[in-house]
Amino acid sequence: MRILVIGSGGREHALVWKLLQSPHVETVFVAPGNGGTAQEQGAVNMPVAADDLAGLVNLARREGVDLVVPGPELPLTLGIADRLREVDIPCFGPDAYCAQLEGSKAFAKELMQRAQVPTARSAVFHQAAEAAAHIRAVGAPIVVKADGLAAGKGVIVAQRPEEALQAVEDMMTAHCLGAAGETLVLEECLEGEEVSLLCVCDGTHALPLPSAQDHKRVFDEDKGPNTGGMGAYSPAPVLPDNRLESLTDICVRPVLQALARDGHPFVGVLYAGLMMTADGPKVLEYNVRFGDPECQPLLMRLEGDLASLMLEAVGGTLRPGMLHYSRHTALGVVLAAQGYPGHYVKGLPITGIADAEALGDVKVFHCGTRLEEGQVLSSGGRVLCVTALGQDLAAAQARAYAAVDKIVMPQSLCRRDIGAKGLRRLAEM
């Protein structure tokens, strides 16, 4: 099989690495890939951007690709699956209609209400004055969400009404997020522990992957600004395996049924971001792809042939029991450039990756790197995701940080408490 993976982050490196373990896979093309995918035997980086749909379709046709796997949301919301369908190339990812679940918070909220999925109470606004009046009427805390894709900058959890009013002003009047902020969702602020539930879907069936937990803030103890994710581990004790099926019934399967009724069966990974509240689980958001960095520990635990699993999903033939994963815990720590998510420098030299992997049960996934004359250089804010397997959470954490400490990168930054929330919960159980 020849596969095309779209994207250039740690998630895509993990997808490439896992797909190449399949006995059926001959070559994995990566558009555009990174310094990590460039080093994987059997992978070939191609200089086509993740949002260049025509270029991607041409590449897939030219190389006789049997399956396309989009990593990030952008090509999906732009309609890569629809374009590939026109030329009969299978795509493990949803069409543009389904991708609105992630691309439009208003669409997602409407669908959740229709499908009776538990979520925060909310209202949609197209006019700043009406949004402001709503905030004055209901008060704070309140959550202000830009409707469109905003690279992690579209959600403000406002503790005071003034903060929420300022967010409305910034998004709707000053257009700080462009078109993404022209429509807003205002919603009830929920309290609880967050967890990710990712399901592999074939249009009709959803198979849950084990739970995972991301760490969105840049500093320890969830301080500092939001990032793309500073680390993740699986399973998360807050969502044990014996609850996966019932939560999938509540939070994912009704959405699949609603989309199928709309004439758009969802194929790919449907990711529900959950808040485990005192009133039970509630959906904060859907993503229409693997999470980054959740994908890295999840794929380290996954056993068996990912390429075949994806083909079953595309063919509509997923069955219970098709997913197998290691009982061990996997934990990934993101190494970022100092200053991320704000200003940071690129081109920092990285060494020690082989020493880290020599510890065993460690894989260093590249997030933002390039290869120059054999030297790995940073090329983004999130640079590496150092991922380790261990018998339990404490062991996975210890191994991942031992591996982190083997890596030498000037001006790097990482959280030192990835997994701490899970360890606290285990201690209470």
Residues that bind ligand AMP (CB under 6 A): 120, 143, 155, 157, 187-190, 194, 216, 273, 284-285
Please say which residue, 77 or 287, places its beta carbon nearer to ligand GLY.
287
Shortest CB 302 distance to ligand AMP, Å:
24
Taking CB within 5 to 8 Å according to partner kind, which of ligand GLY, ligand AMP, none is near residue 163? none
Shortest CB 73 distance to ligand GLY, Å:
8
Taking CB within 5 to 8 Å according to partner kind, which of ligand AMP, ligand GLY, none is near residue 210? none
What the block records as the tokens of 217 is 């803030």
Taking CB within 5 to 8 Å according to partner kind, which of ligand GLY, ligand AMP, none is near residue 194? ligand AMP
Shortest CB 36 distance to ligand GLY, Å:
18
Shortest CB 283 distance to ligand AMP, Å:
9
Task: In whole angstroms, give the CA distance from residue 181 to residue 327.
Answer: 42
CA 169 to chain centre: 29
Taking CB within 5 to 8 Å according to partner kind, which of ligand AMP, ligand GLY, none is near residue 143? ligand AMP
Rg of the chain on CA atoms, in Å? 21
Please say which residue, 2 or 153, places its beta carbon nearer to ligand AMP.
153
Please say which residue, 33 or 291, places its beta carbon nearer to ligand GLY.
291
Shortest CB 274 distance to ligand AMP, Å:
10
Shortest CB 326 distance to ligand AMP, Å:
27
Under a CB-based contact definition with an 8 Å cutoff, are residues 353 and 339 in contact? no
Residue with tokens 């998004």: 171
Under a CB-based contact definition with an 8 Å cutoff, are residues 415 and 384 in contact? no
Please say which residue, 71 or 265, places its beta carbon nearer to ligand GLY.
71
Q: Does the footprint of ligand GLY cover residue 294 (CB under 6 A)?
A: yes
Q: How far is CA 403 from CA 122, 124, 168, 375, in A?
A: 44, 46, 44, 19
Task: In whole angstroms, give the CA distance from residue 353 to residue 351.
Answer: 6
Binding letters toward ligand GLY, positions 212-251, x by CB under 6 A: --x--------------x----------------------
Taking CB within 5 to 8 Å according to partner kind, which of ligand GLY, ligand AMP, none is near residue 285? ligand AMP
Nearest residue to the partner ligand GLY, using Cβ: 291
Q: Does the footprint of ligand GLY cover residue 102 (CB under 6 A)?
A: no
Taking CB within 5 to 8 Å according to partner kind, which of ligand GLY, ligand AMP, none is near residue 95? none
Backbone angles phi, psi at 20, to 5 degrees: -70, -15
* 343 Cβ contact partners less than 8 Å away, ≥ 6 residues apart: none
Please say which residue, 177 or 376, places its beta carbon nearer to ligand GLY.
177
The site for ligand GLY, by CB under 6 A, has a size of: 6
Residues in the chain: 429
Please say which residue, 22 or 296, places its beta carbon nearer to ligand GLY.
296
Taking CB within 5 to 8 Å according to partner kind, which of ligand GLY, ligand AMP, none is near residue 292? ligand GLY
- Which helix (H) or strand (E) is 337 found in, with range? strand 329-337
What the block records as the tokens of 333 is 């720590």
The two most distant CA atoms of the chain are separated, in Å, by 61
Sign for the CA dihedral angle at 390, 360, 291, 170 comes to positive
Please say which residue, 109 or 215, places its beta carbon nearer to ligand GLY.
215
Task: In whole angstroms, give the CA distance from residue 171 to residue 178.
Answer: 8
DSSP per-residue letters across 204-259: S-EEEPPPBEE--EEEGGGEEEE-S-SEEEES-TTS-GGGHHHHHHHHTHHHHHHH
Q: Does the footprint of ligand GLY cover residue 292 (CB under 6 A)?
A: yes
Sign for the CA dihedral angle at 380, 76, 91, 65 comes to negative
Taking CB within 5 to 8 Å according to partner kind, which of ligand GLY, ligand AMP, none is near residue 294? ligand GLY
Question: Residues in the site for ligand GLY, rule: CB under 6 A?
Answer: 214, 229, 287, 291-292, 294
